[in-house]
């Protein structure tokens, strides 16, 4: 069973997870980094958006792009998940977009030990949507599979959010579990 943890640290580049997930949005000149990716970008030398573009990433919803960190940060792999068009200044992301992106990335990362999500999650509703999506994506019912080839779900998920201690967030995550 997948476990989920909330952390209020915004220093996601220091995460010890096997995979660190950031968000990317579509931009007129290529992908843009979503909120939560700033310290990862800085730790990787400030060229993360250009690197994503060179790899063919666009930021389209649920698009997955993997980047090896080569020891620049503690996590050996950064995965950018597309979030589509960024919301207008001051507006929040559509919750279903966050939920779907978190689900897509944890589904893709099946077989991974630990995943840290540094997606836009500044509000309680956004944090809960990210946690719900991650747990939905990590769910796998393999009881009746005969070939045994299915990868196990992600073992542990950490959601980086400044509202980690908010009761609404804790209650929402408990419901999702």
Domain count, the chain: 1
Whole-model pTM: value is 0.93
Q: For position 148, what pLDDT does the model report? A: 63
Q: What is the pLDDT of residues 64-102, one digit of tens each?
A: 999 999 999 999 999 999 999 999 888 889 999 999 999
Terminal Cα-to-Cα distance of the chain (whole angstroms): 10
pLDDT over 70 (residue 112): yes
Q: What is the pLDDT of residues 114-154, one digit of tens each?
A: 999 999 999 999 999 999 999 999 987 666 666 666 788 89
The encoded tokens of residue 105 equal 């990335």
The encoded tokens of residue 3 equal 């476990």
Q: 152, 32, 131: which is closest to 80 by C-alpha?
A: 32
DSSP 30-86: S-EEPTT-HHHHHHTTS-HHHHHHHTT----TT-EEEEE-TTSSSSSEEEEEEEEEP
Q: What residues contact residue 114 under an 8 Å CB cut-off, 6+ apart?
A: 16, 17, 18, 19, 154, 155, 156, 157, 158
Residues 128 and 53: their CA atoms lie apart, in Å, by 29
In contact, 122 and 161? CB cutoff 8 Å: yes
pLDDT over 80 (residue 167): yes
Half-sphere exposure of 177 (CA within 13 A, CB side): 14
CA–CA distance from 20 to each of 28, 47, 105, 148 (Å)? 26, 17, 11, 27
Residues spanned by the domain of 72: 3-142+149-176
Q: pLDDT confidence of 106, banded at 50, 70, 90?
A: very high
Q: In CATH, what number is assigned to the domain containing residue 69?
A: 3.40.220.10
pLDDT over 80 (residue 35): yes
In contact, 134 and 4? CB cutoff 8 Å: yes
């Amino acid at each position: 069973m997948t476990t989920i943890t909330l952390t209020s640290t915004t220093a996601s580049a220091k995460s010890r997870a096997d995979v660190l997930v950031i968000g990317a949005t579509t931009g007129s000149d290529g992908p843009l980094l979503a909120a939560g990716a700033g310290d990862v970008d800085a730790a990787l030398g400030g060229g993360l958006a250009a690197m994503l573009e060179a790899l063919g990433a666009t930021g389209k919803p649920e698009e997955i792009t993997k980047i090896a960190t080569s020891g620049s940060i503690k996590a050996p792999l950064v995965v950018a998940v597309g979030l589509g068009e960024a919301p207008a200044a001051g507006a929040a992301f559509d919750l279903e977009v966050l939920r779907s992106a978190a689900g897509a990335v944890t589904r893709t990362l099946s077989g991974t030990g630990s995943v840290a999500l540094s997606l836009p999650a500044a509000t309680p509703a956004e944090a809960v949507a990210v946690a719900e999506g991650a747990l939905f994506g990590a769910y796998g019912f393999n009881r009746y599979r005969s070939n045994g080839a299915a990868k196990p779900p992600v073992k542990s998920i950490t959601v980086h959010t400044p509202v980690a201690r908010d009761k609404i967030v804790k209650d929402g995550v408990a419901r999702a579990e």
